[in-house]
């Protein structure tokens, strides 16, 4: 650590808050942003969509792997895409940050830059939060969104006869994590995919305005998250293995690491792609560019299969197992 840089202990809580919040641009939907006891965000249809996530250093990110800007973008992205997966337009983030007193001020302001950059992609604003002392860096993000008069898209709407479609990358973040875990930094495109996800925000909102019947983001792994849809809807989902062949970047890397690339496609999380069900292939096309059909919804006990078989890979991420 460069001791020439001022730390949180050097400047104090309130100067640090001022330094961080100066990086947050407020959009037209914000009536009152950072600086008071609470923020005020305008809504039009009387409903607020809300979601929250925690990121803990050593569990969700490492400072030797990712810059503060990367971590800020990732923290924002995984919350913003949860709002989009509900068919809502993200409007605001509230961010809580626990940090050790010897953390440089520059790291905190760069984190704020990352949060702001990701929010700018969807027109959202960081409107407030909290800052406390802690042993490890912990970032708590609450995202708010607006439905603009639409019905929410929930996980329980899939019906037998629907098709399953996905939009976004699958397995890239997991492959990047595998590279970093072995002490390497390339292929850079995969490492970058782990550092900063690229959720298909616009495609999610387009699907919400089409005929989508259920949707969620792929944060725990494709099979695991499709399983959430299957369980909530009480249906059997059969995925088409031929529609899920690994991208070239994954297929080229896997032999060097001794990994089956399908394990990344089926079980890798944190790409934050979107998976959804639609009444027909025509409805998938109506949802717009980027969506592709990868399976079918069948009647039966809630389950997920690939080509009719329970997949060996793809159990997904579970914090406690």
What pLDDT digit, counting tens, does each position of 61-113 carry?
999 999 999 999 999 999 999 999 999 999 999 999 999 999 999 999 999 99
How confident is the model at residue 304, as a pLDDT?
97
| pLDDT above 90 for 1 | no
pLDDT of residue 36: 83
Q: Which residues make up the CATH 3.90.650.10 domain(s) of the chain?
A: 163-306
| Residues 278-290, mean pLDDT to the nearest whole number | 96
Element (H, E) at 51: strand 49-56
What pLDDT is stored for residue 3 in this prediction? Answer: 59
Residues of the chain with CATH 3.30.1330.10: 8-146
The per-residue pLDDT for 314 is 57
Listed in sequence order, the residues at least 6 apart from 240 whose beta carbon sits closer than 8 Å to its beta carbon are 293, 294, 295, 296, 306, 307
Find the helix or strand (DSSP H, E) in which 60 lies: none
**Angstrom distances, CA of residue 243 to CA of 190, 219, 238:** 21, 20, 12
Buried b (16+ CB within 10 A) or exposed e, 27-40: bebbeebbeeeebe
CATH of 163-306, one of 3.30.1360.80, 1.10.357.10, 3.90.650.10, 3.40.50.620: 3.90.650.10
Instruction: Catalogue the long-range contacts made by 60-66 (C-beta closer than 8 Å, 24 or more residues apart).
Output: 63/107, 63/137, 65/180, 65/195, 66/195
Q: What is the pLDDT of residues 198-228, one digit of tens each?
A: 999 999 999 998 999 999 999 999 999 999 9
| Segment 132-179, tens digit of pLDDT | 999 999 999 999 999 999 999 999 999 999 999 999 999 999 999 999
Look at residue 16 in the predicted model and tell me its pLDDT: 79
pLDDT band at 319 (very low <50, low <70, confident <90, very high): low
Is the pLDDT at 313 greater than 70? The verdict is no
CA dist 160 and 299 (Å) reads 5
Report the percent of the chain where pLDDT is more than 90.
83
Q: What is the dihedral of CA 154, 270, 39, 112, to 10 degrees?
A: -160
8-146: which CATH topology?
Answer: 60s Ribosomal Protein L30; Chain: A; (3.30.1330)
Output 22 or 163, whichever has higher pLDDT: 163
- What's the pLDDT at 121? 98
């Amino acid at each position: 650590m460069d001791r020439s840089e001022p730390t949180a202990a050097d400047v104090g809580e309130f100067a640090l808050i001022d330094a961080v919040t100066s990086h947050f641009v407020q959009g037209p939907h914000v009536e009152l942003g950072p600086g008071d006891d609470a923020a005020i965000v305008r809504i039009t249809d009387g409903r607020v969509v809300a979601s929250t996530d925690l990121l803990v250093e050593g569990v969700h990110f490492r400072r030797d792997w990712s810059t503060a800007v990367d971590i800020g973008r990732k923290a924002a992205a995984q919350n913003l895409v949860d709002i989009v997966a509900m068919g809502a337009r993200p409007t605001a983030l509230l961010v809580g940050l626990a940090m050790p007193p010897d953390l440089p001020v520059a790291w905190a302001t760069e984190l704020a830059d990352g949060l702001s950059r990701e929010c700018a992609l969807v027109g959202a604003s960081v409107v407030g939060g909290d800052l406390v002392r802690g042993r490890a860096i912990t970032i708590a993000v609450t995202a708010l969104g607006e439905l603009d008069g639409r019905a929410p898209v929930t996980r329980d709407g899939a019906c037998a006869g629907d098709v399953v479609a996905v939009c976004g990358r699958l397995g890239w973040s997991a492959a990047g994590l595998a590279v970093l875990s072995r002490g390497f930094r390339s292929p850079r495109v995969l490492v970058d995919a782990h550092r900063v996800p690229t959720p298909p925000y616009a495609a999610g909102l387009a699907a919400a305005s089409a005929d989508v019947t259920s949707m969620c983001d792929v944060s725990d792994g494709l099979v695991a998250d499709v399983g959430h849809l299957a369980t909530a809807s009480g249906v059997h989902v059969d995925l088409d293995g031929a529609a899920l062949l690994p991208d070239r970047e994954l297929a080229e890397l896997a032999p060097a690491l001794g990994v089956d690339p399908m394990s990344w496609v089926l079980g890798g999380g944190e790409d934050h792609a979107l998976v959804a069900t639609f009444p027909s292939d025509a409805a998938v096309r109506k949802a717009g560019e980027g969506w592709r059909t990868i399976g079918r919804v069948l009647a039966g006990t809630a389950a997920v299969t690939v080509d009719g078989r329970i997949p060996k890979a793809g159990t997904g991420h579970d914090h406690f197992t």
